[in-house]
Structure 1
Amino acid sequence: MSTREITQRNVGVSAALVAGGAGIVTGNPTIFMVAAVALVYAAYQAAIGDPEPTLTVERDVDPTDPLPGTEVTVTLTLTNDGDATLPDVRVLDGVPERLAVIDGSPRFGTHLEAGASDSVTYTVKARRGDHAFTDVAIACRNLTGTVEFAEQITVETTLSCSASVDAVPLSGQTLSQSGRVPTDAGGNGLAFYAIREHQSSDPMSRVDWNRLAKTNELATVEFRETRAATVTTLVDSRQPVAGRAGAPTAVQFCAYAAQQVGSALLEMDNRVGAAVYDSCETLQPSANRAQEQRLEAFLEDVVSGSVATSSGSRSSWLLDTDTRTRRMQSPTETADRYGITDGGDAVATLDRSIPSESQVVFCTPLLDDRAADAAKRFAAHGHAVTVVSPDMTTGDSPGSTVERIDRTARLDTLRGTVRVVDWTPAEPLAKALTRAMERWA
């Protein structure tokens, strides 16, 4: 810990001596008494000295692995481990550069008795990536403010906001190109699939030599083929509602899920596109390196559009109140808003834009029957559909309870037609996907 002595102490002592001398010479008792008090104070400070502070700093973040956009509470606790009182302690926490403080302040001042602790709490908004906090800057001054001890204390804390998806459950609807999606077809691959009668065109490496040795019959081993797939991530942008004030909205969660799923599928050599329900905007599937950047930009526009819509009207669902307040748009209103023909049929319009061989990953909170019906109709059009549904009904209000019952009924109905991933945003999306794959297996 570095020490900096502030020169005002010497100046003050000199001034007190001059004032005391002036009081004696002039015979003015008032001046003399003021000077005497200052000298006694300076003598006391010199006698007790300025012991070097001994401090312990702890930093706690909650949650430690948040989703992007989630509010993270940071608590910094300072403990005086020394025997002396610290009259003036000033602290500045080392907030990561890319994290914005949205509530409170990482800077605070306090007074610490021996063995006492004090803390400060502030809130940052999580962003994707790993964010390391820097050193905590501490400055301690003595009672007179003439000596300052300064120190940088390292408290290793990293906020991880990746929650990356490593595997995505897809059906066997694939392309002819090789990839990583397991199919129900035998051929070249790694996992055993079946044994069939040998044909003259079969390669020698596929002959079942063990069977030949036992039965003197030729047979061919087939492996489960893995192929590439075309996938369209469909985002339900109609419900910009949040479970509580300051939390990400349903549209943000849906866009996040679509981005995570899309990135994972691109890593697996699949063709990935995106679309919006029910504005019918689309990003055509592709598998090149630039597609992930195009996908991210497309989804950012979806979120920006939903924020602008929600701030300009009160048509969103209010799940954090004691009542269910909503304004349902009629098909005609939807058609007028987006210019959709076919009687305002967004599914039919999107089906014409999405490749016929494409699977659909529909990210929707399932807050109304239209979303559930859309998933069924995409399946009826020949698309393999997986619904990823963030649960926005976790509140305790009567309105949330009713919506939770309705949503559960929709999930149960959909499970008989399409694959469903019920995702509670408090847990990583990857965990919900893994749990769903285990259930389907």
Structure 2
Amino acid sequence: MSLPLTHRNEGRQGMVAAGLALAGVGVLTGRPGLLLASTVPVVLAAHARAATFPSPDLAVERAVSTTTPDREEAVEVTVTVTNEGASTAPDLRFIDGVPTALTVADGTPRHATALRPGESTSFSYAVTAERGHHTFDPLYVVAHDTSGGAARHSEVAVETELECVPPIPPAATLPLRPSAAGITGETVTPEGGAGVAFHTIREYRRGDPLNRIDWHRAARTGDLSTVEYQRERSATVVVVLDAREEGYVASDEHDRTVLERSVEAAGAVYEGRRLVGDRVGVATLSPADCWLAPGTGSGHRARVRSLLATHEALHPLPSDDPFFGVISLSRLRRRLPSDAQVVFCSPLVDDYAARTARRLDAASHPVTVVSPDPTVGTTTGQRLARVERSLRCSTLREAGIPVVDWGDETFQSTVANAVRRWSA
């Protein structure tokens, strides 16, 4: 809709018809009272037709109780409208532009009033903060004239933004594939060198560190030899979130979407890998391009937190843009470092997700799937979806791809239980 626009109340045409009908009856029956009465609706309709479209001069301010709320915090919004024109605005109606991803928790964003010149009015309501960057839309205004027959629709832009950046969740110690010999969070190379796990014994070379000389062997044989250990290095991990429209499913309308749970899982996995010194990156399969190369350090951690909270690819509501699966997966594979492992966060509600996990795994990127379960309901559709999803999980496990099936427990507990099962 292009604004501003104007319209007249076409219902007044019925008044003209009624007046003409009364006049006709008055003529046929010879009753002057009906003829006189017939002039009233005609006069009112003519007045409405002659009315000019109002054009109020309004100044609008919007104040919020905080611009950086915590998740699920109630944010009070107060809108103040002032008539800066020289004439009275007899009938004003407002609808504030609440961001689409936020819900009104208290009050209403609608208001109606009349304003004399210089007069102001205010109305308030509260919204519940959600993860992400949220921009308010303009205030929608409908101004009617005194007769109600002419109206002007317009918008008044007021720049107001909220940004909710939740903290990174507590770490979840998800092991990699394969986990190092007794050391979670590092990968083992086939070469010998410095480390803690025994690799081999070789002949002493000048310059070898004294702490790696096998002194017991030297005492027995008189020959110097050097102990080689398995070399260990930090792993490279990329957490990939399924942020297609299929990733926005939920068990019911009041539950969190799977994407919200995937964002939580991604943060917990990142924190767990960071604490053991791994290089961790983040990517999405989504209409919007999203890629953060693996890295370390406090600056990288801040970038991960901001991306998970505010990137458009992870918006709380699904995008209307199309998703091209083949292109998105090819782009991801080109970006992945050759030694990267993948943690794929997906509800596995369709074959594309399972196929993606297998293709990445076949491309020498060992995959672990973290799958928030949206099929916990009891409807027929949910039961069918649960069976189909269970088959996908089984197929991936049979292919050697671990699946962490996340139900009602905390993510950290789910991961701990999964690790115990894998180690049994």
TM-score for the superposition, normalised by structure 2: 0.53
In structure 2, the CA distance between the partners of 1:391 and 1:126, relative to structure 1 (3 Å rule), is farther
Contact between 1:266 and 1:287, CA under 8 Å: does it hold in 2? yes
2: distance between equivalents of 1:344 and 1:182?
Answer: 30
2: distance between equivalents of 1:223 and 1:429?
Answer: 35
In structure 2, the CA distance between the partners of 1:278 and 1:303, relative to structure 1 (3 Å rule), is closer
| Counterpart in the other structure of 1:281 | 290
Q: Equivalent residue of 1:337, what SS?
A: coil
2:251 counterpart (221, 243, 251): 243
How far residue 70 of structure 1 moved from its aligned partner, in angstroms, is: 9.1
CA deviation map 1:104-147 (0-9, x unaligned): xxxxxxxxxxxxxxxxxxxxx9999xxxxxxxxxxxxxxxxxxx
| Counterpart in the other structure of 1:395 | 377
| Counterpart in the other structure of 2:402 | 420
2: distance between equivalents of 1:361 and 1:213?
Answer: 49
Q: Equivalent residue of 2:292, what SS?
A: strand
CA deviation map 1:26-54 (0-9, x unaligned): xxxxxxxxxxxxxxxxxxxxxxxxxxxxx
In structure 2, the CA distance between the partners of 1:380 and 1:162, relative to structure 1 (3 Å rule), is closer
Q: Is structure 2 residue 316 aligned with structure 1 residue 307?
A: yes
In structure 2, the CA distance between the partners of 1:344 and 1:419, relative to structure 1 (3 Å rule), is closer
Q: CA RMSD in A?
A: 3.9
1:194 counterpart (185, 195, 199): 199
Contact between 1:235 and 1:364, CA under 8 Å: does it hold in 2? yes
| Counterpart in the other structure of 2:211 | 205
Contact between 2:169 and 2:264, CA under 8 Å: does it hold in 1? no
- Residue correspondence of structure 1 range 56-205 to structure 2 within 5 A: 164-171=170-177, 180-185=185-190, 186-190=192-196, 192-201=197-206, 202-205=208-211
Contact between 1:206 and 1:220, CA under 8 Å: does it hold in 2? yes
In structure 2, the CA distance between the partners of 1:219 and 1:406, relative to structure 1 (3 Å rule), is farther
Contact between 2:204 and 2:213, CA under 8 Å: does it hold in 1? no
How far residue 431 of structure 1 moved from its aligned partner, in angstroms, is: 2.4
1:296 counterpart (305, 312, 329): 305
Contact between 1:395 and 1:401, CA under 8 Å: does it hold in 2? yes
Contact between 1:196 and 1:222, CA under 8 Å: does it hold in 2? yes
CA deviation map 1:198-257 (0-9, x unaligned): 342543322333445556676543434331122211000122111123221111111111
2: distance between equivalents of 1:219 and 1:196?
Answer: 7
In structure 2, the CA distance between the partners of 1:166 and 1:389, relative to structure 1 (3 Å rule), is closer
Number of residue-to-residue matches in the alignment: 264
- Residue correspondence of structure 1 range 359-378 to structure 2 within 5 A: 359-378=341-360
Residue type of the alignment partner of 2:328: A
How far residue 308 of structure 1 moved from its aligned partner, in angstroms, is: 2.9
How far residue 274 of structure 1 moved from its aligned partner, in angstroms, is: 1.1
In structure 2, the CA distance between the partners of 1:197 and 1:366, relative to structure 1 (3 Å rule), is same
Contact between 2:168 and 2:267, CA under 8 Å: does it hold in 1? no
2: distance between equivalents of 1:275 and 1:230?
Answer: 13
| Counterpart in the other structure of 1:347 | 329
Q: Equivalent residue of 2:238, what SS?
A: strand
Residue type of the alignment partner of 2:227: V
Q: Equivalent residue of 1:164, what SS?
A: coil
Contact between 1:347 and 1:377, CA under 8 Å: does it hold in 2? no
2: distance between equivalents of 1:218 and 1:408?
Answer: 58
Contact between 1:236 and 1:276, CA under 8 Å: does it hold in 2? yes
How far residue 258 of structure 1 moved from its aligned partner, in angstroms, is: 0.9
TM-score for the superposition, normalised by structure 1: 0.51
| Counterpart in the other structure of 2:236 | 230
In structure 2, the CA distance between the partners of 1:384 and 1:406, relative to structure 1 (3 Å rule), is same
Q: Equivalent residue of 2:284, what SS?
A: strand
In structure 2, the CA distance between the partners of 1:127 and 1:281, relative to structure 1 (3 Å rule), is closer
In structure 2, the CA distance between the partners of 1:439 and 1:226, relative to structure 1 (3 Å rule), is farther
Residue type of the alignment partner of 2:322: R
In structure 2, the CA distance between the partners of 1:222 and 1:391, relative to structure 1 (3 Å rule), is farther
2: distance between equivalents of 1:388 and 1:224?
Answer: 30
In structure 2, the CA distance between the partners of 1:162 and 1:217, relative to structure 1 (3 Å rule), is same
Residue type of the alignment partner of 1:231: V
1: distance between equivalents of 2:272 and 2:205?
Answer: 40
2: distance between equivalents of 1:291 and 1:347?
Answer: 24
Contact between 1:385 and 1:418, CA under 8 Å: does it hold in 2? no
Q: Is structure 2 residue 358 aligned with structure 1 residue 379?
A: no
